[in-house]
């Protein structure tokens, strides 16, 4: 262990936190702490190459900007410190915890380690999706999770007795989801790199997509084709200021519910 380590604090626009956290993880930096419009990375590796990569990304993605602060701090067991700061959460009927926390025998447990995954239930959008899944998904349903990240939403559906397929365009997310299903002794039917247009099944009882609003608008035709008649669509990752645009893209479906948490919105639709 080196005597010192780097603490890199990034300020990013709202809605980009998880996207940039995924990008940082792909650059080889684990243990990214995600906050509201802020990311914290601790590493013994020099963060300057990462900042160069982010500067390039800033030129490629519309609306993405960042500012950074680098501190050189005395090393300690910061992983243990970080683990101690991550609390389990309850979203009826689920109990989401990291592997280092004790089990809860009265809830449906989902084990996801935030330092290793792309979604742990703490973000408002994931929390709202878990609420919707707990209320709407039933044993025997077929479920597609598009942009699965850590696989937490597909895991929740699987633990309720659904048959689940899941996908993500990021190969690291696909691997993370696979590992989390193994960690939870849960099973999926198919898992692939890509989007809904590569699904082997023709249609599903429930389709879930927790992605940023701009992408939800782009893939709206794919998601709607994946719905059986009467099926449920759960959309999340929507900043309230972009809600109207998403609603316009899905105007042919019947609105069922709207869940608002902080500045984030989750929309439920029925394919009537």
pTM of the model: 0.73
Q: 108 falls in which pLDDT band (50, 70, 90)?
A: very high
Backbone angles phi, psi at 233, to 5 degrees: -120, 125
- Tens-place pLDDT, residues 140-179: 999 999 999 889 999 999 999 999 999 998 888 899 899 9
In the predicted structure, residue 115 carries a pLDDT above the cut 70: no
Mean pLDDT of 227-247: 95
Q: What percent of the chain has pLDDT over 90?
A: 63
pLDDT at 25: 80
d(CA 120, CA 218): 26
Lowest mean pLDDT among 18-22, 51-55, 146-150, 243-247: 18-22
pLDDT at 116: 42
In the predicted structure, residue 2 carries a pLDDT above the cut 80: no
Question: 120 by DSSP, 3-state: which?
Answer: coil
- Tens-place pLDDT, residues 190-234: 999 999 999 999 899 999 999 989 899 999 999 999 999 999 999
Q: Is CATH 3.40.50.150 what the domain over 121-270 is classified as, yes or no?
A: yes
Q: 118 falls in which pLDDT band (50, 70, 90)?
A: very low
Q: Which CATH architecture has domain 4-82?
A: 2-Layer Sandwich (3.30)
Outline which parts of the chain fall under CATH 3.30.70.270: 4-82
Q: Residue 150 contacts by C-beta under 8 Å, 6 or more apart in sequence? A: 112, 117, 118, 119, 120, 173, 176, 177, 180
pLDDT at 74: 78
d(CA 13, CA 38): 8
**C-alpha 192: how far from its chain's center?**
16
d(CA 93, CA 187): 19
Mean pLDDT of 117-126: 66
Adjacent-strand bridge partners of 54:
none
**Pick from 272, 169, 171, 179: nearest CA to 212:** 169
Outline which parts of the chain fall under CATH 3.40.50.150: 121-270
- Tens-place pLDDT, residues 69-100: 999 987 766 666 666 767 888 999 999 998 88
Q: 249 falls in which pLDDT band (50, 70, 90)?
A: very high
């Amino acid at each position: 262990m080196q005597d010192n380590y780097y603490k890199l604090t990034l300020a990013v626009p709202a809605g980009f936190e998880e996207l940039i956290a995924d990008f940082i993880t792909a650059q080889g930096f684990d243990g990214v702490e995600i906050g509201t419009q802020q990311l914290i990375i601790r590493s013994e590796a020099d963060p300057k190459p990462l900042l160069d990569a982010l500067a390039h990304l800033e030129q490629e993605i519309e609306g993405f900007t960042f500012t950074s602060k680098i501190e050189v701090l005395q090393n300690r067991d910061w992983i243990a410190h970080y683990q101690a700061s991550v609390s389990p959460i309850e979203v009826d009927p689920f109990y989401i915890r990291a592997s280092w926390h004790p089990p809860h025998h009265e809830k449906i447990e989902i084990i996801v380690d935030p330092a290793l995954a792309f979604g742990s239930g703490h973000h408002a959008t994931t929390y709202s999706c878990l609420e919707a899944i707990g209320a709407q998904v039933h044993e025997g349903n077929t479920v597609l999770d598009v942009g699965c990240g850590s696989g937490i939403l597909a895991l929740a559906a699987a633990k309720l007795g659904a048959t689940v397929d899941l996908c993500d365009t990021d190969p690291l997310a696909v691997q993370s989801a696979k590992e989390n299903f193994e960690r939870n002794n849960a099973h999926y039917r198919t898992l692939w790199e890509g989007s809904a247009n590569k699904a082997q099944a023709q249609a599903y009882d429930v389709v879930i997509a927790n992605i940023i609003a701009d992408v939800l608008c782009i893939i709206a035709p794919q998601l709607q084709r994946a719905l059986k008649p009467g099926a449920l669509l759960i959309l999340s990752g929507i900043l309230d200021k972009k809600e109207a645009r998403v609603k316009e893209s899905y105007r042919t479906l019947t609105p069922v519910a709207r869940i608002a948490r902080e500045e984030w919105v989750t929309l439920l639709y029925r394919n009537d």
